[in-house]
Amino acid sequence: MQQLPLNVRLAEHAVFESFHAGPNEAAIACLREAAAGAGPRFTWLWGPGSSGRSHLLQAAVTAAHALGRPSIFLPMAQRASLDPAMLDGLETASLVAVDDIDAIAGDGAWEPAMLLLYERIVASAGRLVMSSILPPARSGFRLPDLASRLSTAAVYQLVQGGDEQLLRALQKRAAWLGLELPDVTGRFLLTRVERDMAALCRELERLDREALAAQRRLTVPFVSEVLGSAD
């Protein structure tokens, strides 16, 4: 008999505990401090897509909230559904996390609003953490004043390790989902799925559902079967 998975998802995926730090320990330590209201006032993470920028920024927001500190996550890639007025009053938050801040580069309304938010945060006690594909000076801001001010941040490049790091990251995520991902199965997955953390996580969530329904462990034959059925 097949067990039907309940449509209940884990409360939080994007937390520090589900992220494999690998070579990015210093960046994570800095974000944890920011969540607690300590460390540098401004932090900038940069790296390619799927390097974990959004995950870490959301983790910081969640951690701040758990400490009773109001915080906000702003996904600038979705700025079309937001408005620069969204930045008003955010200096009252303990932590403001601006994800994909480069998405507002060159935008005549968002850039000045961000500049003013920066100034208000300087005058308050809050912290600002940002993420982008590139460092501040190369993120393409039209206002030199904004690029210059944001470059006071402690800048960290998120480094994606090789396959071994990817495997450890995937295993950590699996453990967070309550799954055991043996090395051999993990390596098998890395050879069959796009070697990109976001794609691998999507696959892992699908495997989680299928494994629960079929009451199976994540063995190579089972994963092969599931991947094959998707083709």
Residue among 16, 107, 112, 165 that touches other proteins (CB under 8 A)? 112
H runs (alpha helix) in 36-97? 53-66
Point out which span in 26-34, 165-173, 184-192, 223-231 binds other proteins (CB under 8 A).
Answer: 26-34
The nearer residue to other proteins, 42 or 188, going by C-beta atoms, is 42
Residue 166: in which H helix or E strand, if any?
Answer: helix 163-176
The nearer residue to other proteins, 56 or 218, going by C-beta atoms, is 56
The nearer residue to other proteins, 155 or 197, going by C-beta atoms, is 155
Contact indicator for 45, 130 with CB cutoff of 8 Å: yes
Give whole-number Cα distances, 64 to 17, 24, 99, 104, 227, in Å: 14, 20, 16, 25, 38
Residue among 18, 50, 51, 71 that touches other proteins (CB under 8 A)? 71
The nearer residue to other proteins, 86 or 220, going by C-beta atoms, is 86
Q: What is the torsional sign of CA 201, 207, 213, 219?
A: negative
The nearer residue to other proteins, 15 or 223, going by C-beta atoms, is 15
The nearer residue to other proteins, 153 or 218, going by C-beta atoms, is 153
Quick one: tokens of 176?
A: 């967070």
Shortest Å distance, C-beta 106 to other proteins: 16
**C-alpha span between 151 and 145 (Å, rounded):** 10
Point out which span in 22-30, 167-175, 191-199, 213-221 binds other proteins (CB under 8 A).
Answer: 22-30
Question: How far is C-alpha 96 from the geometric centre of its chain's CA atoms?
Answer: 14
Point out which span in 66-74, 173-181, 196-204, 212-220 binds other proteins (CB under 8 A).
Answer: 66-74
> Using the rule CB under 8 A, is 13 a contact of other proteins?
yes
Contact indicator for 198, 45 with CB cutoff of 8 Å: no
> Using the rule CB under 8 A, is 68 a contact of other proteins?
yes
Q: Name the residues that contact other proteins, by CB under 8 A.
A: 8-9, 11-14, 25-26, 29-30, 33, 37, 39-40, 42, 44, 54, 58, 61-62, 64-65, 67-75, 82-83, 85-90, 92-94, 97, 112, 115-116, 119-120, 122-123, 125, 135-137, 144-145, 147-149, 151-157, 159
